[in-house]
Amino acid sequence: MSVCTKQQPIFEKRQAGVILHPTSLPGPNGQGELGPEAYHFVDFLNDCGLSVWQVLPMNPTHEDRSPYMNLSVFAGNTDFISLTLLAEWGWLPANEALTDAGKRQKLVIARQQFLQQASTNDKTALQQFINQHQYWLADYALFQAIKNTQGNKSWVDWPVVLRDREAGAIRAATHQLQDAIEQINFEQFVFFKQWLDLKQYANDHNVKMVGDMPIFVAHDSAEVWKHRKYFDLNADGSPRTIAGVPPDYFSATGQRWGNPLYLWERMKEAGYQWWIERCRVGFALYDAIRIDHFRGFESFWEIDAKEKTAENGHWVKGPGATLFKALLQSQPPLSSHQQQLAFIAEDLGIITEEVNALRQEFGWPGMKILQFAFDGDATNAYLPHNAEQNSVMYTGTHDNDTTLSWYEQLPEHEKKQVMAYLADTSEAMPWALIRSALASVSNWALFPMQDLLSLGQGHRMNTPGVTADNWRWRFQWDQVVPGIPSKIKSMTKLYGR
């Protein structure tokens, strides 16, 4: 099969939308879920004339709650499961669905009720899900089941026979933990069903769901445990080299992410099957996918795992076009977008001509961040007049402060520069920047929910390089000022979105 990689822009229709991780949805429980509030949010987007909902990675997290360091890059985070919906389906007694206190135990009760009362069609659907996702699900379920018996320790600290997946130990663990494994399978089935139901509702209301795919994988994950041959590890399973970025806008010592690096040649020898399966799951869940740290596919920053910071790393060539051609040629097709694949390339940071050429070869839009646009002269690549149609214009992302807080902390001369460029000092922040994003030539314009609510300091989602107090922001419906939907809808109409 020949592949023409010179593609027309994927996102040709002018659209606008919001970045909101479902953890940030309102509700009575400890975090947002995939229940009634999520459907209400789709209705809200529809009322605003917005047609894109971008989320952060939806995978199970470690204790720091970072959606970019996952226990699996395939599995869904079951903390998002709505007990309310389980009760509506008849898979949970109604009195069990009132709060998320003890959610783990309630999911056990849900499975028991499912086994006793679910229809034959539902039970068949569960088995079909397990069969369809066998590539990753069997190992993830065993990984989690073992982890629960090992005090949640990292897999490198498990008994050696389990750490190294000795055949006899794996068979014994699979037999001994069979009920726990089946529980995990059930919970993944529920997560996927609830997410795909929500996605269908969004699509039916003309809202696209955009996911987020981190390029790298957490060391303590089912995938590294299962596929050690694909990662640069020592004999004991610890990382030999790790990922990060050199000193940049966010950190003077760079960012030492700690993810183990891929052994790309081995992945290539295996036909990139691991990536094909990963993207197959991704395009089943999302209409489009933002690839986090796209530049790492061209060249990545390699750091010796013994280093305490990211300063002493060096650039190493990545797989480049060979990976993406393998994705395009995969059979059956990964998605209905097979001729292009609906990727957004997160091309922030130190971007070279080679990175731009790789993105442009496949016709994928890059990202323009307005908060980065005003710290230079008229040649700044993020200024709207330097943008191209095939791009996504953001006021800011989950890694930025809110636009209002960002603006309020600028020196006076920079504030004047911003307002001089925007040419309208009468419109308060963040609306002046939202308008600029919507008016830009970029085919897509997106902004964090915090900006739509005009929220200032204290409402940031994440501060890169800082581990405390991230990923916890939530909004409440009473923060939506009356008139916001009609205001944003008139703006999207005015600017052809």
Return the number of other C-beta atoms located less than 10 Å from residue 414's C-beta. 13
Active site residue 399: yes
Active-site entry in 139, 292, 347, 401 = 292
For residues 358 and 64, give the distance between their C-alpha atoms in angstroms, rounded to a whole number: 33
Q: How many CA atoms lie within 13 A of 51 on its CB side?
A: 15
Longest dimension (CA), the chain: 72
- Could you tell me the two tokens for 317? 């060539």
DSSP string, 440-497: SS-SEEEEEHHHHTT--TT--S--TT--TT-S-----GGGS-TTHHHHHHHHHHHTT-
Angle between helices 321-329 and 273-285 (to 10 degrees): 60
Active-site entry in 122, 361, 399, 427 = 399
Q: Are 296 and 315 in contact (CB under 8 A)?
A: no
Active-site entry in 223, 346, 347, 451 = 346
Q: Is 52 helix (H, G, I), strand (E, B) or coil?
A: strand
Active site residue 346: yes
Chain centroid, CA 88 distance in Å: 28
The DSSP bridge partners found for residue 211 are: 289
Q: Are 356 and 410 in contact (CB under 8 A)?
A: no
Give the burial class of 119: count Cβ atoms within 10 A of its Cβ; 0-12 exposed, 13-18 middle, 19 or more buried. exposed
Active site residue 64: no
| Cα dist from 23 to 81, 88, 190, 295, 480, whole Å | 11, 21, 17, 28, 18
Catalytic residues: 292, 346, 399
